[in-house]
Amino acid sequence: MRSLRFVFVSWKLQFKMIMRSPFDGIGNVIYPLFFATTAFFVFRAGSSPRTLVYASLGAAVMGMWSSVSTSAGSAMQRERWWGTLELLVAAPRHFSLILFPSTLGLATVGIYNLTATLLWGRFAFGIPLTIEHPPLFVLSIVATVLAFAGLGLLFAVSFVRFRAAWVLGNFFEYPVWLICGFLVPLSLLPTWVHPIAWVLAPTWGMNGIRESALGGTPLPDVLLCLGLGAVYVAFAVLVTNRVLDDARARGSLSLT
Amino acid sequence: MTVAGRIFFVGGLTSFRALFYWLTPWIYVPTMLIAPLFQILLFAYIGRSAGLESDEFYLIGNALQYAAIPCLFAMAQAIGGERYQNTLSAILVSPAPRIPLFFGRSLPVVVNGAFVAAFALFTGSLILGVHLPASSLAPLLLVVLIAALSCTGLGLVNAALSLRIRENAVLSNVIFGFLLIFTGANVPLDSLPSWMSTAAQGMPFTHAIEAARQLTAGASLGDVADLLVAELLVGAIYGVAGYALLRWFEVLSRRNASLEHS
Amino acid sequence: MAAIEAERLRRTYRTHTGTIRRRAKEIEAVRGIDFRVPEGELFGLLGPNGAGKTTTIKMLITLLIPTAGTARVLGIDVVKKPQEVRKRIGYVFGGERGVYERLSGYDNLRYFAELYGVPAAEQKRRIEELLELVGLKGREHERAEGYSRGMKQRLHVARGLLHDPEVIFLDEPTIGLDPVGARDVRATIASLTAAGKTVLLTTHYMFEADTLCDRIAVITHGQIVAEGTPADLKRGVAEGTVVEVEVYGVGDETVERVRGLGGVTAVAVEEREQAQVLVVQTRPGAELTQAILGCLDGSDVGRISHREPTLEDAYVALVAR
């Protein structure tokens, strides 16, 4: 119970910190909008039956992923610069529990990205916003946020080890955009890519969001998304111990 | 070698090394070599998904457009990075002539940018199975070099502006985004609203990308010469503007000490 | 049971030089340290920069794994049961970092209170108490980025005490503070042992160790060269005299010559404003003023004074070896 309370309080404070850095925030929201805009033009000029609404939803989730992928890796770097990383490690809680609210905060900001993309599509490109199952839509978004937080946690923890990895954080943006079915249906991708997509929660989050907006059965997707998120968190917990022991043995915690 | 020449070559290279001590293979390979391939793949598949144009279209567009990353960021770092290390003012009080100084910084950036684009183009063609006609290969390298030159000119403007803005990574990202949409990298110019395709004529890459596409379709270097000249002209204008801005900021900073990182 | 025990603690770092041909280098930061701190004591680890003080403290607070040796806090092994140790210790370090600048002082404390498992019902009271104690009341809702260095330092101290730890580790807590701020922090530290807590303090300020600590260990080049109460350490140099000679630019060979004089136990050169002061410790009974001046023949010499040795001189003599 105390852990849950800690996560809640910490999440609120992390979110506060993220929102208080305006340029980071604006940059984070605007950057994926460029890709969304490009996608809207491409789909509008294209001849496939896939609609602009499809593109709009896909681009919206691309934005949600951006928020996590670019910052989760550098979360650890920021703590190093601030001199707070050691304080976190020296605290009597499991390090992965301490980090989770940060990635959760980042994933929550993704909701701004989602909203901005949908609104941009609506007002700049006239893409209509009709949602078939609103409660399930909301549930899908929440599930995606949680799963992204879990995946972000795995990144953040892994990157404690590699101090230069804050640059690599950007590196995971494109691949997820490509293979998780945001703008490109899985059927168009080579078959060997499919299993990779299936173990990535964003794929199921996207499905859930799309089906609840356009009509379909989002619930299985939502559950898979949450399940995978839980698996990531479990991995992160396991990785944390090894990473921290390594950092403490090398003495790299105090380095920037 | 003349003094100006030394400042241009040796100074440029030394400062490059000093400021890019963080650019190890662990960072260079993913950021400069692998990421553009993913961007190419992403848009090639988006194109297939949307039923627009061909793999070759997106290969050329994105391979060239991605050069903006090294050209913009490296240029901003080459000049603005000094600010963070507080060495900029030491350089500015030196009697070194400014043109070779600032443009000397650009040389490694151009070379790197051209290399990144060329690598993306040729490796991307292998991955996507796009056949580039043998006769077009050498001309394409020329186009790549010209594109990198041109974008580095814009990079100089970006670098100058970055001196005045704290969050300069955002500026570089925004410029990258505009280049993604406007230059015909992913959206054919005639599918864009006319004000956008007009604006694109004043941006780097637009002409180079068109030239590259024509070359792979069988055109000769002579056929695309006017496009290449246009590209160089665009780059030159940005370069001059960037240089002017840097000098102006230098003067301003002497008046109100604003160049050091606060 | 001692509150803190270190036995043959060692810590070696491996670093790499060069980018293309990477050569490994081993640096021994801590080379076999032993000490025990009983409960309720204020123990000082005194030494110059780079002596190994911070490395030692980080091993004790579980941030670094020792290369060899063992350490225990309240009887708990720091390597085998780090979480148990962390619950019972507080860690405060000097300087401006270690604070979340985008949050207010209050929110910083709220976060760490939650992190350290301070029961919800007590948090508010505890935070208010500590804000009062460190003198930040009234400024706690401002963003920490607007705090002065001294205020950030005091916020640190408050943070370290949130969960009421039994053992508190302070790493150069007054570094960079103005005299008034430093005095306030010292007063707070002194009150901690009064409340029954055990405190381990690292510092390179001799007078700070002298005034605050019950016992001091002098550490240099990764080893403890002396240990005892401030009085014990002073006794080491109590007899004998210190000759201070004001000089204007003295070369290394001259200093060596003075050092080589019979009866000289230590020589140090202090920079002061326009001139340097040659501080020469001499054995009891030795009358060396003329001999010293002889070595300085040719250099400009200002005032000469004699005084009794202080703890500072004891320290200089110890770390100069």
Give the tens place of pLDDT for each residue, A165-205.
Answer: 666 667 788 999 999 999 999 999 999 999 999 999 999 99
Residue B261 lies in a domain: no
- Residues with Cβ within 8 Å of residue B257, at least 6 apart in sequence: none
Q: For residues A80 and A46, what is the distance between their CA atoms, to the nearest angstrom?
A: 47
> Which H or E element spans position C12?
strand C4-17
Q: For residues C320 and C48, what is the distance between their CA atoms, to the nearest angstrom?
A: 10
Segment A130-140 shows an average pLDDT of: 92
The confidence score (pLDDT) of residue B229 equals: 94
Report the chain A residue with the minimal C-alpha distance to residue C108: A13
Please, is C70 exposed, middle or buried when counting C-beta atoms within 10 Å of its C-beta (0-12, 13-18, 19+)? middle
Tell me whether A251 touches chain C (CB under 8 Å). Answer: yes
Tell me whether A186 touches chain B (CB under 8 Å). Answer: no
Residue A59 scores a pLDDT above 50: yes
Give the ipTM: 0.89
The confidence score (pLDDT) of residue B262 equals: 41
Q: Output the CA torsion A60→A66→A69→A73 (10° steps).
A: -150
Mind telling me how many Å the CA of A99 is from chain C's nearest CA?
A: 11
A109-137: string of b/e by CB count within 10 Å (b at 16+)? Answer: bbbbbbebbbebbeeebebeeebebeebb
Chosen from A167, A173, A179, A182 to mutate, greatest number of chain B CBs within 10 A: A167
C-alpha dihedral sign at A58, A59, A60, A66: positive
- Residue B39 vs residue A69, higher pLDDT: B39
Structurally, at CATH architecture level, domain C4-228 sits in 3-Layer(aba) Sandwich (3.40)
The confidence score (pLDDT) of residue C183 equals: 87
Segment C216-220 shows an average pLDDT of: 90
Residue B260 lies in a domain: no
DSSP A165: G
Task: List the beta strands (DSSP E) in chain B.
Answer: none
Residue A161 scores a pLDDT above 80: no
Report the chain A residue with the minimal C-alpha distance to residue B33: A171
The confidence score (pLDDT) of residue C71 equals: 94
Residue B107 lies in a domain: yes
Q: For residues C186 and C207, what is the distance between their CA atoms, to the nearest angstrom?
A: 11
DSSP structure string for B49-118: HHT-S-HHHHHHHHHHHTTHIIIIIIHHHHHHHHHHTT-HHHHHTS---HHHHHHHHHHHHHHHHHHHHH
DSSP A168: G
Q: Which domain does B32 fall in, by range?
A: 3-255
SS3 C306: strand
Tell me whether B84 touches chain A (CB under 8 Å). Answer: no
Residue B14 scores a pLDDT above 70: no
Q: For residues C56 and C202, what is the distance between their CA atoms, to the nearest angstrom?
A: 9
Angle between helices A52-82 and A22-45 in degrees, nearest 10: 160
The confidence score (pLDDT) of residue B259 equals: 54
The confidence score (pLDDT) of residue A204 equals: 95
Q: Are strands C301-307 and C241-247 parallel, antiparallel or unpaired?
A: antiparallel
Mind telling me how many Å the CA of C57 is from chain A's nearest CA?
A: 12
Q: For residues B232 and B147, what is the distance between their CA atoms, to the nearest angstrom?
A: 8
Q: For residues B25 and B35, what is the distance between their CA atoms, to the nearest angstrom?
A: 14
Task: List the beta strands (DSSP E) in A55-166.
Answer: none
> Which H or E element spans position A86?
helix A85-89
> Which H or E element spans position C68?
strand C68-73
CA B138 and chain centroid, separation? 20
DSSP A2: H
Q: What is the pLDDT of residues C284-300, one digit of tens each?
A: 777 778 888 888 777 78
Residue B98 scores a pLDDT above 60: yes
Domain boundaries, chain C: 4-228, 238-319
- Residues with Cβ within 8 Å of residue C14, at least 6 apart in sequence: A250, C24, C25, C26, C27
Residue B19 scores a pLDDT above 70: no
Q: Do B166 and A188 touch (CB under 8 A)?
A: no
Residues in chain A: 256
Pick A174's closest partner by Cβ from B39, B47, B180.
B39
Q: For residues B11 and B97, what is the distance between their CA atoms, to the nearest angstrom?
A: 12
SS3 C198: strand
Q: For residues B17 and B14, what is the distance between their CA atoms, to the nearest angstrom?
A: 5
The confidence score (pLDDT) of residue C238 equals: 64
Spell out which residues of chain A touch residue C14, defining contact as CB-CB under 8 Å.
250
Tell me whether A49 touches chain C (CB under 8 Å). Answer: no
Q: Do B51 and A46 touch (CB under 8 A)?
A: yes
- Residue C137 vs residue C319, higher pLDDT: C137
Number of domains, chain B = 1
Least reliable range by pLDDT among A73-77, B40-44, C89-93, C197-201: A73-77
Q: For residues A156 and A92, what is the distance between their CA atoms, to the nearest angstrom?
A: 19
Q: Do B192 and A178 touch (CB under 8 A)?
A: no
Please name which of B63, B253, B61 lies closest in space to residue B160, comparing C-alpha atoms.
B253
Q: Do A34 and B181 touch (CB under 8 A)?
A: yes
Residue B18 scores a pLDDT above 60: no
Task: List the beta strands (DSSP E) in C249-288.
Answer: 264-272, 275-282
Please name which of B99, B66, B74, B49 lies closest in space to residue B155, comparing C-alpha atoms.
B74
Q: Do B34 and A23 touch (CB under 8 A)?
A: no
SS3 A172: helix
- Looking at the DSSP bridge assignments, the partners of residue C15 are C25
Match domain C238-319 to its CATH number in 3.30.420.40, 3.40.50.300, 3.40.50.2300, 3.30.70.260.
3.30.70.260
Please, is A175 exposed, middle or buried when counting C-beta atoms within 10 Å of its C-beta (0-12, 13-18, 19+)? middle
DSSP B201: T
Angle between helices B221-256 and B98-128 in degrees, nearest 10: 140
- Residues with Cβ within 8 Å of residue C77, at least 6 apart in sequence: C70, C71
Mind telling me how many Å the CA of B220 is from chain A's nearest CA?
A: 29
Q: For residues A98 and A256, what is the distance between their CA atoms, to the nearest angstrom?
A: 20
Q: What is the pLDDT of residues C94-151, one digit of tens each?
A: 878 889 999 999 999 999 999 998 998 999 999 999 998 888 888 999 999 899 888 8
